[in-house]
Each structure stands twice: as structure tokens, then as C-alpha cells.
């Protein structure tokens, strides 16, 4: 049984101009000790998915359907009290995009980690919490003596490490990282990703990595889901996603991605732009940009179907071809 199983999750935002279907029926699993990469362009619903799992959507956002099975709970239906007391931070924690700028500048790093521990585990003594904070710092590769430092005394990469330490403060079993390396320089980003990989293996964490950078997923994750306009276009293990992508969007994204290795080729972009989720196109949401689109794509929304063991896609063409029909 997966650590976290998302089934047909729907989260909509209410705005003055109508309802935005930011996440519209997605399903995936996160396993213990494994990393699941959620990739997609800006506005495709990656972050909304993370906020839904932690049930911290902004006030105009609402989970309107689906299940989020985690241990003995269904997070979609869990009451707020239990969510706060039992799940958030103790079981599931998150590091947000640009999190290193989220540290409070007037408190020392140690104070902030200790605060996180004592808030969630009421029976822990202050001294014990400081000791734990020191161990956490060592875990993410910072000397424990720097607990007394303030955020401005840390570099960007160290602040990001401190945020990761804080997220691990209560021994969660699931760790969500939303664009953990985006605001960092290449070398520092590589160090942080290396750290996440080590932590996942050492602590047996289930990890969900949200990023727009496919190459990061290729290097750190075991499974990947490619999101487009609130839906999952394709979902499989990383090798399948990169070596045998089936959905035209996945194929397009991979072609649009430059590599420092291999042949030097002219990059290919996907024509058009991502749709406005207030008024998504009818049928398959990708059809206006898809070179294989036919009549059925314009009218019928494709199901998220399994095309081979562990490999899912939402595409009429892929399903037809899997059945041996010609497209």
C-alpha cells in the first residue's frame, strides 16, 4: 500500500470571473522511501496539489472531490483539528519555493527550529528541543554551532538547508519540496538536490518533488507525473517517462529541454500557450497545441487510463494505439 494515494482529487478556486479548475481529477501514489516528481509549466496546478495535500489552500480554494489516503486517514475529509494536531508537520511537511526567504530575520535559526518542534510536540523540554535542532542541522550538513546565527548570516544555500532541517523537525513520513532548487545557483542547487536524495534514502522518507525542471526529476525521482492544465497527462516511472514517453505533451516537453550531454540539436518548442483555466478548451485540454489532435480530442475529455503496467496517460491517441488501433 502506498504511503499517500491521491484518487481523483479536485481542487477549485472561486474567483469573481468564475471557478478556476486548478486541479481537476488527478491520481497518483507516493511510496515510502521513494520520490515522486510532479512536473509541469507554471499554472498547471502543481503547487495547488501540494497545498491540497496539506489542506492549506487559500480561503477561496476548496477541495471539491476525490480522496487523499494517507495512513489511516483520508486527508480530504479529515477535520481541521485532527489535521493540525496529528498530520501537519508531524506526518507531512513542506518546503516552499523560495523558502529560504521565509525565515524570520529577527530570530536565530535555532530558535525557529525549536519553535517548530515545541509547537507540534507539547511534551518536549526546551533543552531537548535544542539538542534535536543541533542534530537536524548536522543532518543537513551545517555545523550545530551555527544554531545561534541569524538568517542574514547564512548564505542562500544554507538557509535552504535550514528550512529542510525545520521541515524534518518532527520526523515526518512524507516530505513535499516545491521547487527546492529554483532560486539557487547551479552548484548550490546540485548540492541541495544531492542532500534531498540522501535524506530520502537514509530516513526512508516518502518524497514529493514539485518542479518545472524535468532534468531534476530525472536525477532525483523514481516516478514522475507530468501535469498539464490541472490534469495529469502522463504518469509512470522516470525511465519510462524519459525513454518511452507516450503523451504528445510529454514528448514535446522533453524535446524542448536542452541537455548538456548528447547531440547538439535545434530545440523544438510546443506551439501556443497554456490555456486559461477559467475557460479551459473543451475536450482534451491539450488539443489546441497538439499536432495529432482529431475531432474526438476537441469534444471528449480523455480518461486517465492505464496503457501498460504502471504507465498511465490521458490521451485518445495513446489509448487507441495501445489497443492496436491506427491513429
> Residue numbers of the site for another protein (CB under 8 A)?
41-42, 155-157, 185-191, 193-194, 212-216, 218-219, 238-239, 241-243, 252-254, 256-262, 264-270, 273-274
Q: Which is nearer to another protein, 103 or 241 (CB)?
A: 241
Q: Which is nearer to another protein, 170 or 199 (CB)?
A: 199
The least distance separating another protein from the CB of residue 35, rounded to whole angstroms, comes to 12
Q: Name the E strands within the chain.
A: 4-15, 18-30, 35-39, 61-70, 73-74, 92-95, 174-178, 206-211, 223-228, 231-237, 305-308, 311-313
d(CA 216, CA 190): 9
Helical axes 156-167 vs 186-203, angle rounded to 10°: 20
The least distance separating another protein from the CB of residue 159, rounded to whole angstroms, comes to 11
Adjacency order of strands within the sheet including 61-70: 18-30, 4-15, 61-70, 73-74
The least distance separating another protein from the CB of residue 265, rounded to whole angstroms, comes to 7
Q: Which is nearer to another protein, 19 or 251 (CB)?
A: 251
Q: Which is nearer to another protein, 218 or 297 (CB)?
A: 218
The least distance separating another protein from the CB of residue 270, rounded to whole angstroms, comes to 4
Residue 243: partners with Cβ closer than 8 Å, 6 or more residues away: none
The least distance separating another protein from the CB of residue 2, rounded to whole angstroms, comes to 20
Q: Which is nearer to another protein, 90 or 212 (CB)?
A: 212
Q: Which is nearer to another protein, 1 or 260 (CB)?
A: 260
Q: Which is nearer to another protein, 120 or 200 (CB)?
A: 200
The least distance separating another protein from the CB of residue 291, rounded to whole angstroms, comes to 13
| 3 state DSSP class of 103 | coil
d(CA 254, CA 322): 21
> For residue 70, what are the CA distances in angstroms to 55, 230, 323?
13, 22, 34
Angle, CA 185 vertex, CA 108 and CA 270 arms, to 5°: 130
Backbone torsion region of residue 16, taken as left when φ is above 0, otherwise alpha when ψ lies between -120 and 50, otherwise beta? alpha
Enumerate the H helices of 26-66 as residue ranges. 46-53
The least distance separating another protein from the CB of residue 229, rounded to whole angstroms, comes to 12
Amino acid at each position: 500500500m502506498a504511503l499517500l494515494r491521491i484518487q481523483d482529487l479536485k481542487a477549485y478556486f472561486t474567483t469573481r470571473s468564475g471557478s478556476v479548475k486548478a486541479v481537476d481529477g488527478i491520481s497518483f501514489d507516493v511510496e515510502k522511501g521513494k520520490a515522486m516528481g510532479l512536473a509541469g509549466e507554471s499554472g498547471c496546478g502543481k503547487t495547488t496539489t501540494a497545498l491540497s495535500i496539506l489542506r492549506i489552500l487559500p480561503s477561496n480554494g476548496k477541495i471539491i472531490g476525490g480522496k487523499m489516503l494517507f495512513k489511516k486517514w483520508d486527508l480530504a475529509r479529515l477535520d481541521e483539528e485532527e489535521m493540525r494536531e496529528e498530520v501537519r508537520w508531524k506526518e507531512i511537511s513542506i518546503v516552499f519555493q523560495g523558502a529560504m526567504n521565509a525565515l524570520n530575520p529577527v530570530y536565530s535559526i535555532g530558535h525557529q527550529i525549536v519553535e517548530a518542534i515545541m509547537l507540534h510536540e507539547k511534551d518536549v523540554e526546551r533543552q531537548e528541543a535544542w539538542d534535536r535542532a543541533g542534530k537536524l542541522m548536522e543532518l543537513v550538513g551545517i555545523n550545530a554551532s551555527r544554531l545561534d546565527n541569524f538568517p542574514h548570516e547564512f548564505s542562500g544555500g544554507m538557509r535552504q538547508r535550514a528550512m529542510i532541517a525545520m521541515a524534518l523537525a518532527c520526523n515526518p513520513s512524507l516530505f513535499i519540496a516545491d521547487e527546492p532548487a529554483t532560486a539557487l545557483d547551479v552548484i548550490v542547487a546540485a548540492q541541495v538536490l544531492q542532500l534531498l536524495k540522501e535524506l530520502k534514502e537514509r530516513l526512508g522518507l516518502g518524497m514529493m518533488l514539485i518542479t518545472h525542471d524535468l532534468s531534476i526529476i530525472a536525477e532525483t525521482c523514481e516516478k514522475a507525473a507530468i501535469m498539464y492544465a490541472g490534469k495529469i497527462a502522463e504518469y509512470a516511472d522516470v525511465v519510462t517517462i524519459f525513454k518511452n514517453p507516450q503523451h504528445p505533451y510529454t514528448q514535446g516537453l522533453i524535446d524542448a529541454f536542452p541537455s548538456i550531454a548528447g547531440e547538439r540539436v535545434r530545440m523544438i518548442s510546443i506551439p501556443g500557450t497554456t490555456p486559461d483555466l477559467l475557460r479551459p478548451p473543451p475536450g482534451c485540454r491539450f488539443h489546441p497545441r497538439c499536432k495529432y489532435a482529431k475531432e474526438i480530442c476537441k469534444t471528449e475529455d480523455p480518461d486517465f487510463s492505464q496503457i501498460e503496467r504502471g504507465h498511465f496517460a490521458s490521451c485518445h491517441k495513446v489509448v487507441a494505439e495501445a489497443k492496436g488501433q491506427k491513429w
